[in-house]
Chain A
């Protein structure tokens, strides 16, 4: 039954989860903007972020210091990404590979399978949770899960830091320039391959942070990145590939549509509402809300 209270509560839940989806989508679209490739293994970096969070909270820091585990998990995933990129992605640019897209697809799918099976082999197929002793938060008269609210707040902080990095630093200027013209930046004397490594690390770290933040909500298991990755790609289709504001707005939009659909139409079809939104956007605006046809600069 429709009530204003339920509507507002659902809306808040949608925005909350949407921002976390957007974090994932930001990682995908950021890597695409700089390195010009789709990383199909993003969900696995999300998964690693969630495992790191679990291990840090359960074995080292304890549930009260869960917030310290978030940046450590993000840093861990960043380092992993910065190690993986020169081995798997860099050859795309340093060797004479004609179909770079195909190469990137094959190696990142191989990486996906490797990481997923490693997680299963090392930790088993079990579902784990770092737990959360955060109390329920009242937003006005409406109760919200403390873990979700904390995840939302941290996701906003991560997005704000990412924005500041891009807009207010020399490194960010180099990244923005690279997104527009790799050759142009290279011929200005900047080592684009080094930027690729950093960008890949930052992109997967965003996914890792999303995984760490959602670990108490969506649990920790070897395939827990699948759903969030699918959402990430849905967001990119809605917002437009390569558009950072598009990823943010589309993330919130997807979260809200799914939550409202689940609450007021039928909850088992929650994922369908997102896909219907994707289809609607593709029909009306095939490049996505903020995407550009043939993005060159």
Chain B
């Protein structure tokens, strides 16, 4: 399958600290890629680099062959690469519906009808229809996480969706709903996903392959079962004495 998202030698330094170094990954169109690693491995930094939040110190990012390196986040999003945040960044004072419609803001009022129809579908799919006009801050933590993930599906040109810890701290019912959303979008639209999570059981269900990060480097790649037994992965999680 053709490569959709690739990074080459991606490095980010904050002063004297190197958060990621020489990270090269290649993700195929339609793939669900997991990104795992112990805390501080550089997963969120990598997500921030890919989505334009941080400019890289070195290296390249390409989406379907187009260079994204150095583009601001809104232009990265317009090219179809979207993300969610580990700390849910919903707009608490806006209604649930308005939160969903945000990706349409840059498109002018002509796209409004299309956006509204899509928002209605997503509200039904996420069972949030009855809360559509309530401020998002009134949602439970799980519902917020669900809404955050769902809002990305509003972006018409979405090709690659990066989810940073989408399952952290939410109840099993909503976890299942998020899993279903991801699987359905992957099946029906062929969407590519990059998922950062510590929930290995879910990652096993969802991900076609896994990249393991440790101390800013990719130390292993393969299916979850393949990487789980590798020395470098065990060492990254448990220390070198266990590997």
The B-contacting residues of A in range 56-114, CB under 8 angstroms, are none
A170 interface residue, CB < 8 Å from B? yes
Given contacts A177-B102, A177-B105, A181-B89, contact A186 B72 (CB under 8 A): yes
* Contact call B93/A297, Cβ cutoff below 8 A: yes
Which of B51, B53, B89, B105 is in CB contact (< 8 Å) with A170?
A: B105
Q: Is the CB of B74 within 8 A of A191?
A: yes
**B103 touching A189 by the CB < 8 A rule?**
yes
Chain A's interface: helix, strand, loop or mixed, by majority? helix
Interface residues of A in 186-211 (CB under 8 A from B): 186-193
Q: Taking each of A183, A187, A191, which has the highest tally of chain B beta carbons within 10 Å of its own beta carbon?
A: A187
With a CB–CB cut-off of 8 A, which chain B residues contact A173? 94, 98, 101-102, 105
Contact status B103-A188, CB under 8 Å: yes
Kindly report which residue of chain B lies nearest to residue A180, judged by CB atoms: B91
Q: How far is the CA of A191 from the CA of B77 in the complex (A)?
A: 10
Report yes or no: B51 in contact with A187, Cβ–Cβ below 8 A.
yes
Q: Known: A170-B105, A186-B74, A187-B83. Is A176-B93 also a contact (CB below 8 A)? A: yes
Minimal beta-carbon separation of A79 from chain B (angstroms): 23
Q: Known: A188-B102, A188-B155. Is A176-B94 also a contact (CB below 8 A)?
A: yes
Q: Across the interface, which residues of A come within 8 angstroms of B101, CB to CB?
A: 173
**Which A residues are in CB contact (< 8 Å) with B112?**
170
| Distance (whole angstroms) from the CB of B65 to the closest CB of chain A | 21
**How many angstroms from the CA of A233 to the CA of B109 in the assembled complex?**
36
Closest Cβ of chain A: how far from B49's Cβ, in Å? 13
Q: State whether A177 and B106 are in contact (beta carbons under 8 Å apart), knowing that A183-B73, A184-B89, A187-B83 are contacts in the complex.
A: no
- Any chain A CB within 8 A of the CB of B92? yes
CB distance from A14 to the nearest CB of B (A): 31
A183-B89 in contact given A188-B105, A189-B103 (Cβ < 8 Å): yes
Total interface residues in chain A, CB < 8 Å = 19
Residues from chain A with a CB closer than 8 A to the CB of B91 are: 176-177, 180-181, 184, 297
Q: Which of B92, B102, B151, B155 contacts A297 (CB 8 A)?
A: B92
Q: Which range contains the number of B residues in contact with the other chain?
A: 20 to 34
The answer, yes or no, to whether A119 is at the interface (CB within 8 Å) is: no
Which residues of B are found within 8 Å of A192, using beta-carbon distances? 74
**B51–A189 CB distance below 8 A:** no
Contact partners of B105 in chain A: CB under 8 A:
170, 173-174, 177, 185, 188-190
Tell me the residues in window 141-182 of chain A with beta carbons closer than 8 Å to chain B beta carbons. Answer: 170, 173-174, 176-177, 180-181
Q: Which of B95-126 contact A (CB under 8 A)?
A: 98, 101-103, 105-106, 108-109, 112
Give a binary string over B155-193; 1 marks a CB under 8 Å from any A CB, 0 the rest.
Answer: 100000000000000000000000000000000000000
Cβ distance B83 to chain A, nearest Cβ, rounded Å: 6
- Do residues B89 and A177 form an inter-chain contact, with CB atoms below 8 A? no
Given the known inter-chain contacts A176-B93, A177-B102, A181-B91, please indicate yes or no for A189 contacting B155, CB distance below 8 A.
Answer: yes
* Smallest Cβ-Cβ distance to A189: which chain B residue: B77
| Cβ contacts under 8 Å, B72 to chain A | 186, 191, 193
Name A93's closest neighbour in chain B (CB-CB): B72
Task: Please state if B151 and A180 are interface contacts (CB–CB under 8 Å).
Answer: no
CB atoms of B85 and A184 under 8 A apart: yes
Whole-angstrom distance from the CB of A133 to the nearest CB of chain B? 43
Task: Please measure, in the bound complex, the distance between the C-alpha atom of A192 and the C-alpha atom of B83, giving whole angstroms.
Answer: 17
**Contact residues in A for B151 (Cβ distance below 8 Å):** 188
- Indicate which residue in A170, A181, A187 contacts B77 across the interface (CB closer than 8 Å): A187
> Interface residues, chain B, CB within 8 Å of chain A?
51, 53, 72-74, 76-78, 82-83, 85, 89-94, 98, 101-103, 105-106, 108-109, 112, 137, 151, 155
Interface residues of A (CB under 8 A from B): 170, 173-174, 176-177, 180-181, 183-193, 297
Beyond A176-B93, A181-B91, A192-B74, 18 extra complex contacts between A and B, CB < 8 Å: A173-B101, A174-B102, A176-B91, A176-B94, A177-B102, A177-B105, A181-B89, A184-B102, A187-B53, A187-B76, A187-B89, A188-B77, A188-B103, A190-B74, A190-B105, A190-B106, A193-B72, A297-B92
Can you spell out 15 A-B residue pairs with CB atoms less than 8 angstroms apart?
A170-B109, A173-B98, A176-B91, A177-B98, A180-B93, A184-B85, A187-B53, A187-B82, A187-B89, A188-B155, A189-B103, A189-B105, A190-B105, A297-B91, A297-B93
